[in-house]
Amino acid sequence: MIGRLNHVGVATPSIAESVKLYRDVLGATQISAVKAMPEQGVNVCFVDLPNSQIELIEPLGEASPLHGFLAKNPSGGQHHVCFEVDDILAARDDMAAKGATVLNNGVPRIGAHGTPVIFVHPKNMGGVLVELMETPKGAHP
């Protein structure tokens, strides 16, 4: 079912500081503008690599789900892994049927790439918060 590794989500207390790290120390050259995702309570910024992306995420607002993560990991750290799927509703139903816990009551949200996404609880995923994202139409020819 899962297809491409779309991105690795990396939580940070400051996207601006992380951009310096990826640009000036690791030498990444393609870094997006910061985009606010108020519904998810995060700002996001993508570091483009030749085959995938790092998604930098920082808290947006007091109710951001990232505050808990950053309380445990003040410097930031790996937060989730995002795999592409062809059909988000089929993927959700398949995961739920196999006993996985789909967050947000299984209701997909529109993710940073403009297609629907779901998150699966780490307790069913070997400790990894898994995002499934519907592949953008026309992407990756």
Contacting residues toward its own copies, per CB under 8 A: 1-5, 8, 10-12, 17-18, 21, 24-28, 49-54, 73-78, 81, 83, 94-95, 98-100, 122-128, 130
The answer to whether 102 and 119 are in contact (CB under 8 A) is: yes
User: Other C-beta atoms within 10 Å of 65: how many?
Assistant: 15
> b/e for 86-112, b at 16 or more Cβ within 10 A?
eebeebbeebeeeebebeeeeebeebb
Closest approach, Cβ 39 to its own copies, in A, equals: 24
Grouping H, G, I as helix, E, B as strand and the rest as coil, residue 32 is coil
User: Which of the 8 DSSP states describes residue 135?
Assistant: P
Closest approach, Cβ 76 to its own copies, in A, equals: 4
Closest approach, Cβ 124 to its own copies, in A, equals: 8
- CB nearer its own copies, residue 37 or residue 125: 125
Confirm whether 131 is a catalytic residue.
yes
- Active-site pick, 55, 84, 131, 134: 131
- CB nearer its own copies, residue 38 or residue 116: 116
